[in-house]
Amino acid sequence: MDPQVQSQGRTSIAPMLSVRRGAQAIEFYKAAFGAVDLFRIDDEAGAVVAQLAVGGAEFWVADESPEHRNYSPETLGGGTVRMVMVVEEDPDAAFERAVAAGATVVWPVSDQHGWRLGRVVDPFGHHWEIGKRLR
């Protein structure tokens, strides 16, 4: 490892998902993925910013704010990023949990390119690929 990189400590990158109906999105992610709250701010108008984690993998959710150039996929007519959730156990069960919570199947779980993988779109327009590498 590059000594300069090592001396800087650990870096993490956590996406922030812009959504409409932030409080509902948080409840969806809890139901669909078993997310837990790490941090949350609700303002008086009902907008929310929250840090969530699924099995230690962190991400943020925030109500869209056009004044700050943060737009949801619903506003844009689609998103520019897909979330990839790698699960150690059963990707089929994780996928079905998301569908049961309200996600829409883009393609079902199948074996492809050395992965067991499927793709859903959540009710807020974000696409999630759920799977694990096959051994």
- pLDDT digits over 54-88, tens only? 999 999 999 999 999 999 999 999 999 999 999 99
| Strand 36-42 to 48-54 pairing | antiparallel
Q: Among the listed ranges 6-15, 64-73, 108-117, which one has the minimum average pLDDT value? A: 6-15
Which token pair is 5? Answer: 């990189």
Q: In whole angstroms, what is the distance from residue 69 CA to residue 76 CA?
A: 11
How high is the pLDDT of residue 135?
87
| Cβ neighbours around 19 below 10 Å, total | 27
3-class secondary-structure state, position 116: strand
Mean pLDDT of 10-37: 96
CATH number of 9-133: 3.10.180.10
How high is the pLDDT of residue 44?
95
How high is the pLDDT of residue 1?
52
How high is the pLDDT of residue 115?
97
pLDDT at 52 > cutoff 60: yes
How high is the pLDDT of residue 6?
57
Mean pLDDT of 93-97: 98
Which token pair is 110? Answer: 């199948």
The enclosing H or E element of 101 equals helix 91-101
Percent pLDDT > 90 in the chain is: 91
